[in-house]
Amino acid sequence: MSKAIDTTLAPQYFQKFPVHIHKDEPVVKEGSSAAVKMFERLVPEKDTRSHAVGPYGDAYAICYPEGDTEKTKLAGEIIEALWMYDDIIEALPHDEAALEHATVKQMLAGNKDGKAPGRKTLMTSIFRDARDRMMALDPKGSPWMIGVLRQYLTEYDGNDNTYNDIEEYATFRTLNVGFRIMSGFMQWTTDIYLNEEETQITKDFYMASGRVMALTNDYWSWEMEKRESIDRSAGIRNAIPVLMKQFSLNEKDAKIFAKGLTVDAEEYMWKLGLDLKKTGSETIKKYVDAMILLMGGSGFWSATCPRYNTAQK
């Protein structure tokens, strides 16, 4: 059983999702720490600012508080590596990024001796063993999760579209914020697998959850992202500049607007979740509860983590 975190001690956390932490947080934390160390070794010149460190504990222990300990630890290691890899790949020209993705996908498919096109592919060695390690922990559920990972890499935001409309942007962003990965590992760590019918029934809830995560991430990561120069014509992927442009708002007002949209998105998602809990199967009920804990963990970590909340270079 996980422990509840008293969120009233962090007044900036404006959401109302409950937040829990894994009973084995020190063990879970080893996963994300291992990924950070690996990146520091492979690409010492890059900034390896953690996506997991926070004053209340490891992000993955907070996002997956009810997960199996070993699986949650491995999930943390893989996701942390993926996000650090994203940081690096974002700065690459589109062609090179596509090549990198193709290599990683091949590795996840089980082809371990894919040719290494260039030095940057060193980074992808991180994913070399991910597949086998996942299979060793869970031969039944892992093929599904590996499929989710491969789909993420296929659909990865490679376009340079500019969005002028917040609804259009949010629709794109919902599936492009890493939500598939985060919710997929939520299911993998807790053994919650939906059948086809259950997947259909929960589809709106799934999309609504993705919207919450997208807006929450944009709200909290904006201060960091606006300081960073990102080498892409479309600029920073964030709702704040879209809102500023669409409604001619200054930055401060656009942030408040984004906060309001996040609260609205949360209310809608929660309502759908409660409806599902009234009528859904036992699996659906567990799925809704775990998703709510994931939203709480993701939002609370974002609201308190040094990555987003301290002035950095």
- Contact residues: Mg ion, CB under 5 A: 217, 221
Q: Give the distance between the most distant pair of CA atoms in the chain.
A: 54
Is 71 or 237 the residue whose CB approaches Mg ion more closely?
Answer: 237
Is 90 or 289 the residue whose CB approaches Mg ion more closely?
Answer: 90
Is 103 or 298 the residue whose CB approaches Mg ion more closely?
Answer: 298
Which residue number has the CB closest to Mg ion? Answer: 221
Is 124 or 221 the residue whose CB approaches Mg ion more closely?
Answer: 221
- Is residue 3 helix, strand or coil? strand
Is 50 or 221 the residue whose CB approaches Mg ion more closely?
Answer: 221
Burial of 89 (0-12, 13-18, 19+ CB in 10 A): buried
CB 107 within 8 A of CB 148: no
- Among 121, 150, 295, which residue's Cα sits nearest to residue 214? 295
Is 62 or 290 the residue whose CB approaches Mg ion more closely?
Answer: 62
Min dist CB 159 to Mg ion, Å, is: 17
Three-state secondary structure of 40-51: HHHCCCCCCCCC
- Among 309, 257, 306, 295, which residue's Cα sits nearest to residue 65? 295
Min dist CB 268 to Mg ion, Å, is: 21
Q: Mention every residue, 6+ apart, whose C-beta is less than 8 A from residue 186.
A: 63, 64, 67, 192, 290, 291, 294
**Cβ of 309: how many Cβ atoms within 10 Å?**
17
